[in-house]
Amino acid sequence: MDQLIKILIVEDNVIIADDMQSMLEDIGYNIVANVVDYEGAANALATLDIDLALVDIVLASKKTGIDLGRHIRENYNIPFIFVTSNSDKATVENAKSVKPNGYLVKPFEQQDLFTSIEIALSNFNNDTVSLAKETAEEEADGKLVSNSVLRNSIFVKKNQHYYRIPFDEIQYVKADNVYLEVYTEDKTFLVRSALKDYLEKLPSKQFYRAHKSYIVNIDQIEAINTKDILINGKNIPISKEFREFILSNMNS
């Protein structure tokens, strides 16, 4: 089942922290922990499933939010945003050293939080794809594969929410003009992207371009004939190249 993204709040002012949590829960995010110091944050990161962290720079501990940012960068593959009252040059330069995915200055409104999170997630996904492209081995020409892999899921926006969809639950993706329709067993998500670009965000051993207008999860294929495949009762057209690829790998 797709899930709302899970957020860690690290803020030493309890009133501000509670206000942030209310804002985010009102939008639809899932706050998995709300802590005041480095130690609490480190414990939360080690024991909970967290997709993004909002980190104050000044914390109720000897170690600062910048120390925490460095800890996240060195040990976890998640984005984080600094949320702080400090915007002086020295603080900003120090914060830049740990490469945060955003920098939000207090006071802020609910829309500021939402926008910062949305941009951070988008940039994080794009950066991860770029890194995967740089480090992946080059594939032979003509192979139906993609070199880039994110994590075990992808974020998709629907209405005011960002949903986390495990790759295994995506059945197929259909191009519709400038948008894509991403299908799971019981939901459809609309994404603004080119089909080729979206394919690069999906695991190369699981998702293939079956047709000029379709990406399919090969683990979801129920049946195949000369012209199409069947996924969840839906007939999806396939190219000659994809058909030959599937047939050549049957029972191999």
* 8 Å CB contact between 11 and 56: yes
Query: Residue 151: is its pLDDT beyond 70?
Result: no
Residue 179 contacts residue 194 (beta carbons within 8 Å):
no
Using the 3D structure, point to which of 125, 145, 174 is the last residue of a domain. Answer: 125
Per-residue model confidence as pLDDT tens digits over 190-202: 888 888 888 888 8
So what's the pLDDT on residue 59?
A: 93
For residues 219 and 120, state if they share a domain.
Answer: no
pLDDT digits (tens, 9 = 90+) for 227-243: 999 999 999 999 999 98
In a domain, 139, yes or no: no
Q: What's 10's domain CATH number?
A: 3.40.50.2300
Per-residue pLDDT tens for 42-101?
Answer: 999 999 999 999 999 999 999 999 999 999 999 998 999 999 988 888 889 999 999 999
pLDDT at res. 126:
53
Contacts of range 221-228, beta carbons closer than 8 Å, 24 or more positions apart: 221/246
The torsion defined by the Cα of 73, 75, 77 and 82, in degrees rounded to 10, comes to -40
Q: Which residues contact 12 (CB under 8 A, 6 or more apart)?
A: 36, 37, 56, 58, 59, 60
Could you tell me the pTM of the whole model? Answer: 0.56
State the pLDDT at residue 129: 41
Stronger pLDDT, 20 or 132, i.e. the higher one: 20
Q: What is residue 169's DSSP assignment?
A: G
Q: Which tokens is 248 given?
A: 């050549």
Tokens of 199: 């394919």
pLDDT digits (tens, 9 = 90+) for 110-150: 888 888 888 888 777 655 444 444 444 444 343 443 333 34
How many structural domains compose the chain? 2
**Average confidence (pLDDT) over 162-170:** 84
> What's the domain range around 67?
3-125
pLDDT at 147: 32
What CATH number does the domain containing 181 carry? 2.40.50.1020
In a domain, 137, yes or no: no
Q: What is the pLDDT of residue 194?
A: 86
Question: Residue 80 domain-assigned?
Answer: yes
- pLDDT over 90 at 28, yes or no: no
pLDDT of residue 3: 67
